[in-house]
A and B are shown apart, each in its own frame.
Chain A
């Protein structure tokens, strides 16, 4: 085994003449950075195919594995949404679909997209790839645990997909899995389906905890010399805070799933009151269905921010790089991320205004919910103020950013409707809710993911994605998705309830038929447009333009590795030394319009850098 470690060099033992980092002799006091506190990380280098590509301990490969598997489940979720839209828009063409199927598709689509696609992609995918590179670490701090994290996720996905093939099919209880219906006859998949769902969620939480510990400790304890918390790119801040939320929110989901499984398997009555079904009183009694809702939403609301905060962070970096301008109000952005994260633990019951909980809770939760609007609005202002007087490159990445701002502001404002307790009453459980959360945590984060893919593809592969295909991809996705969800709000105003298999016999809903057909057509188009990206990736891998080093002229560390794409260990034989924040773009007096984080102050003495 010893040869697996031979590449490691004991860099920390650098003697005092290189402590200054960067330039050495010319101005040692100006460039002084404290020596390393801990010895260099001791990495396991895989040699065989299995240890290098399958059971790999390199966070970058694990990130790509997470990305691919999450995308795969995401495509399944996409196909399920097509089937749902087929039923809603063209029920006569969906004759093969029963109500059972429809509800199973709704449930699996929701759960896949929220947990197995978005959460896994942002934290597992982008988190693994970017955190070590952006904070200047060689790898995640516990590479073995990180590998186990991915493979737990893999098993969780297998179990989830296995539920499609068990008797009764997957659970059809809605992604919120509310008892009592989740485990009673009359709901599709109330047998094996719900059990496999709970098992899969528990595996996901276990796997995620292993990954999450890695992300947190890497950010807290393994930053490189000179990298203070307030010099980190906002991407890292977003993923870091989201991981903290996940570590504290997933326990509630784990406990809820476990208790529901016991209710199903052992006949306990945690969530089950006395129930009369088909004239017979069941053997349950004394439990509280609302307890599950509290547990679920104590997880569920932070979960929204687990998806949103990494998106906030990534978009801040993309906008800054492509506007050639520092992110406006960096400190405000950091505090807004942290503040939103903290507040998100005190708002969960705004999902339950009409759930039958004590109505007096409504006052408290409406107030906390609307307080969150303030830091969120500040973030939006800072994004558009970053564009102001920038030098905006109108490339595909920037288009995704602008698309994000439009959809996020739209979805954020409809969130104020739903968070404000009495406004929520007529709108809750209608299509307004569907439109709101798809806009704000479906389409907006998707825009960020796409922007991030176009931005970091050159880093991961060394090739650019095709701009032309990218623009087609963007415009069909953005315009299509907007025309799905913007009109959908108005279905909610009419009062069309969500989770209706069909409903056009109601007198005031006949007018909605045409709109549903339109929405379905747009949904088919948007779904199909995502295959442009897959085609683009394949094509660009083969024939794409070579990117070279730091093609976007960015400042942050991930672009500054000695070899691009970065190899295992990231930094060759010397860890980078950081002298400034990641946003010194267009500094007056500088030759270029960017000053990388590793540039020593003595190299740019004649510039007017305000913050370092």
Chain B
């Protein structure tokens, strides 16, 4: 991305540019929207939440006295008479990562002020997220049906159930919140709020397409976290 133009300020490349930006007045991140900077810092904080969860999980899994269940069996799916390990989860991950792609396109069309394309792509992202949550609900009900509970687990250590439901639940909550916002933003895009710079319902801030990028940051983060959860729960 090219540097924004700022009157009276010359950008420098590399580390000296970073040092100059830091030492300058007014802003540290030149030309970065307040909301975007806020989202980055929020995501940093959220990273610590997920890190705490995953480190606790590693500690719990490492110190358990009962055998940890084999993920490729627990998460396997029996399709057309064949046992396919990790099938559902592969589809879920694919859907979520695709939705990240549509989100990125939505941001691009948003900045091009292509209201229609932008709106449809946000809607597609929302539907991707919804599909993901739906499949997660299916997986949860399958595990619950097989007798896995937060406090017990027929396949081995009870902590498996505890950590699985807690961490995927926490991530699923993130996705669900994202989906709700995606629907709201899709509506706002179609209704033209960003073109008219209409004020928000609660915050009374003027609408701007940058909001889509901010939501996009959140959405990509949720995807990224999923990759880690996927690796730690399903591949370890």
Contacts and interface: CB of A to CB of B under 8 A. Distances in A.
A221 B29 contact: yes
A227 B42 contact: no
Contact of B45 (A141, A221, A226, A247): A247
A268 B150 contact: yes
Interface stretch (B52-60, B70-78, B92-100, B112-120): B52-60
Interface in B5-31: 6-9, 22-31
A44 B204 contact: yes
B158 A1 contact: no
A221 B23 contact: no
A255 B170 CA distance: 10
Contacts of A267: 150-151
B28 A221 contact: yes
A228 to B, nearest CB: 5
Contacts of B9: 34, 37
Nearest to B31: A37
A285 B30 CA distance: 53
Nearest to B47: A251
Contacts of B205: 42, 144
Nearest to A32: B8
Interface string A386-403: 000000000000000000
Contacts of B48: 247-248, 251-252
Interface stretch (B32-40, B126-134, B222-230): B32-40
B144 interface: no
A229 B22 contact: yes
B53 A255 contact: yes
Contacts of A209: 42, 45
A258 B173 CA distance: 14
Interface string A1-13: 1001000000000
Interface string A30-54: 0001111110001010000000000
B26 A223 contact: yes
Contact of A145 (B28, B30, B63, B203): B203
B180 interface: no
A255 B150 contact: no
A38 B59 contact: no
A343 to B, nearest CB: 17
Contact of B203 (A142, A224, A256): A142
A269 B151 contact: yes
Contacts of A213: 38, 41-42
Interface in B107-161: 150-151, 157-159, 161
A226 B30 CA distance: 15
Contacts of A258: 166
Interface range on chain A: under 10, 10 to 19, 20 to 34, or 35 or more? 35 or more
B162 interface: yes
A266 B56 CA distance: 18
B206 A42 contact: yes
Contacts of A230: 23
Contact of B52 (A34, A266, A283, A295): A295
Nearest to A223: B26
Contact of B26 (A4, A36, A212, A287): A36
A424 to B, nearest CB: 24
A269 B34 contact: no
Interface string A219-238: 01111111111110000000
Nearest to A230: B23
A221 B33 CA distance: 8
Nearest to B46: A251
Given A251-B48, A269-B159, A221 B34 contact: yes
A285 B65 contact: yes
A230 B161 CA distance: 51
Contact of A221 (B6, B32, B65, B66): B32
A485 B57 CA distance: 41
Which has the most chain A C-beta neighbours within 10 Å: B8, B49, B56, B199?
B56
A251 B24 CA distance: 31
A212 to B, nearest CB: 8
Contacts of B30: 37
Contacts of B60: 270, 286-288, 291
B25 A220 contact: no
A496 B29 CA distance: 53
A231 B199 CA distance: 35
B44 interface: yes
B25 A223 contact: yes
Contact of A35 (B7, B38, B51, B150): B7
Contacts of B52: 251-252, 254-256, 295, 298
A37 B53 CA distance: 40
A141 B34 contact: yes
Contacts of B25: 33-34, 223-228, 231, 578
A269 B158 contact: yes
Contacts of A295: 52, 56
A347 to B, nearest CB: 17
Nearest to B166: A262
B70 to A, nearest CB: 18
A216 interface: yes
Interface in A282-341: 283, 285-288, 291, 295, 298
Nearest to B52: A255
A286 B152 CA distance: 11
B202 A144 contact: yes
Contacts of B22: 229
B26 A288 contact: no
B45 A266 contact: no
A262 B162 contact: yes
A547 interface: no
A259 interface: yes
A239 to B, nearest CB: 15
B162 A268 contact: yes
A266 B151 contact: yes
B195 to A, nearest CB: 18
A281 to B, nearest CB: 14
Contact of A255 (B31, B41, B56, B66): B56
B151 A223 contact: no
B232 to A, nearest CB: 15
Contacts of B66: 286
B45 A251 contact: yes
A267 B30 CA distance: 50
A231 B26 CA distance: 11
Contacts of A94: none
B141 to A, nearest CB: 17
Given A37-B30, A225-B26, A229-B28, A286 B151 contact: no
Interface in A15-34: 19, 33-34
12 contacts: A1-B204, A142-B35, A209-B45, A216-B38, A217-B34, A225-B26, A227-B25, A247-B45, A255-B53, A256-B52, A269-B151, A286-B63
6 smallest A-B Cβ distances: which pairs?
A251-B48, A268-B162, A255-B52, A267-B151, A34-B8, A251-B49
Interface of A: 1, 4, 19, 33-38, 42, 44, 141-142, 144-145, 209, 212-213, 216-217, 220-231, 247-248, 250-252, 254-256, 258-259, 262, 266-270, 283, 285-288, 291, 295, 298, 578
Given A251-B51, A268-B161, 20 more contacts: A1-B199, A34-B8, A34-B9, A141-B38, A142-B38, A144-B203, A213-B42, A217-B41, A228-B25, A252-B48, A254-B52, A255-B56, A266-B151, A266-B162, A268-B158, A268-B159, A270-B56, A270-B159, A286-B60, A286-B65
